[in-house]
Amino acid sequence: MSFLKLNNLTRRFGGLVAVNDLSFEIAEGKVTGLIGPNGSGKSTTINLISGVLPVTSGSVEFMGHRITGKSPHAISRMGIARTYQQIRVFESLTALENVQVARAGMYRSGLADVLLNTGKLKREESRERDKARELLELVGLGKKGDEMPRNLPYGFRRCLEIARALALEPKLLLLDEPAAGMNRDEFMAVTDLILRLRKTGLSVLLVEHTMEFVETCVDHVVVLNFGQKLAEGTFHQIEQDPRVIEAYLGKEEL
């Protein structure tokens, strides 16, 4: 049984085939990088796996279960969490509450417990608040729990989004360009965070353009071009693959 397996995944937008008959597997406990030129279908692939876009054909299997066609919340609760290319945090909630939102699935209290403010609910709320604080601590936002997201610098907002994803206690984390648009310090902070997550054995599939980031963080690379898999292997194998060089730089005419 493979950890995550894409079977002939295809997604069309009208006449455009964004992802074309794509199949690959990713291994548990590894950081897999999904790279490719602009428009090669990387973000679409992430959207198809997380269920926010319906597939045109093909399927995704996660730990032996077919997840294609399930709603995004169901996929999230099965253990696939994600972040977005454009950071999407909840602007009207505090940083701590942003993380707490993703803990909703951990509650046994129901609506009646909420309306009657039962002891069970209070215990769970306090347990989940502590858990959320721990996660903020982990991503380096330990002191920022009461801040509104708009008051946080860009890099911190990204970390907050990652903390929210981690709050689902995922088995697989999908990161869509986690280091995009960051300054040097922020870049180092996110790199460091992902390396720390890798050490805990979390499986990650990430889309990234920054080769330095891919080189440092990634165990295995899958290269896409025009919605299809072009190559895969370790970063150093990929780096020297002529097809990959051609896809990125174009062919040299003699």
Partner 1 sequence: MERFKKVIPLLAVALFLVIPLVDDNQYHVYMLNRALINCMVATGLVALTGFAGQMSLGHAAFYGIGAYATALLTVRVGFPVWLGIISAGAICLLVGMVLSLPSFKVSGFYLSLVTISFGNIVWMLIVNWHSLTRGPLGFPGIPSITLGTQPLSRVGFFYVSAVVLGLMTLALYRLSRSYIGRGMKAMSDDEQATETAGIDTKRMKVLVFSLSALYGGIAGGLYAHLSNFLSPESFVFSESANFVAMAVVGGLRSIYGGVVGGLVVTIIPELLRVKGWEIYYLMGSSLAILLLVIMLPSGIAPAVQNVYNRLGARLGIGGSGSGSNGNGSGNGSAAAVRGDSKSGGR
Nearer to partner 1, 128 or 208 (CB): 128
111 near partner 1, judged by CB under 8 A: yes
Minimum distance of partner 1 from residue 145's CB (angstroms): 10
Nearer to partner 1, 61 or 147 (CB): 147
195 near partner 1, judged by CB under 8 A: no
Contacts by 73-77 with C-beta closer than 8 Å and gap 24+?
Answer: 75/49, 75/50, 75/51, 76/50, 76/102, 76/168, 76/170, 77/105, 77/168
Classify the C-alpha dihedral 207-213-219-220 as positive or negative.
positive
Name which of residues 61 to 90 contact partner 1 (CB under 8 A): 71-77, 81-82, 84, 88-90
Structure tokens at 244: 């990959």
Nearer to partner 1, 27 or 116 (CB): 116
112 near partner 1, judged by CB under 8 A: no
Give the helix/strand (H/E) hosting 10: strand 4-13
Nearer to partner 1, 107 or 226 (CB): 107
Of 152, 37, 216, 221, the residue nearest 162 (C-alpha): 152
Name which of residues 117 to 176 contact partner 1 (CB under 8 A): 117, 121, 124-125, 128, 146, 148, 151, 164-165, 167-168
